[in-house]
Amino acid sequence: MTPPPTDADPVLDQLAALNIDHEVMACDPALADTVDFCAAYGIDPADSANAILVAGKAREGEDRPFALCLVLATHRLDVNGTIRKRLGSRKASFASPDETATMTGMQIGGVTPFGLPSGCPVPIWIDAVVMGRERVVVGGGSRDRKILLPPTGLLALPGAEAVEDLARPIHVPDG
């Protein structure tokens, strides 16, 4: 016997359960990558936060440590500094797209800290600069939507914390 279809949406369900003020923004999946999304939908990159799964090098006999980091599109994660140290690892790197999909159930371009599967108990580290924005756009759990919310909503997530110096501004030469 087949189970009945469900309309459950873990991302939207968690936003509702945490009573977080938010807006769902439809997105052409071909434009889900941050640069394309911001250009196509008129979003300032300083108001767009990427959710990036990072991984440390595993110590012998231990699992590889992971964290989900949120960083403004105008910044670059300090993987070899702050993140590596917080993971307690000698080396750290971005998780591969396959690792990201396996752990979060989401594709790059749609990754969000909301609605993570119960088998993905990773800390959520939010670059403190994100908290200074009035509203930010984050992934919506799939490439066809984004979530617009006040950054304080991110701190409502279990395991979420704002972290100073998690990322550095990207210096774009004047041109």
Residue 59: what pLDDT? Answer: 77
Instruction: Give the CB-side neighbour count of residue 31, counting CA atoms within 13 A.
Output: 14
- Distance from C-alpha of 61 to C-alpha of 59, rounded to nearest angstrom: 6
The answer to whether the predicted template modeling score (pTM) of the entire model surpasses 0.75 is: yes
* Domain annotation for the chain: domains and CATH numbers: 19-166 (3.90.960.10)
Q: What is the pLDDT of residue 3?
A: 45
- 57-69 per-position pLDDT tens digit: 877 777 889 999 9
At 39-83, the pLDDT tens digits run 999 999 999 999 999 999 877 777 889 999 999 999 999 999 999
What digits encode the pLDDT tens for the residues 87-113? Answer: 999 899 999 999 999 999 999 999 999
Q: What is the pLDDT of residues 107-141, one digit of tens each?
A: 999 999 999 998 778 999 999 999 999 999 999 99
Residue type, 4: P
Q: What's the CA angle centered on 160, arms 134 and 44, to 5 degrees?
A: 30
Number of H helices, E strands in the chain: 4, 10
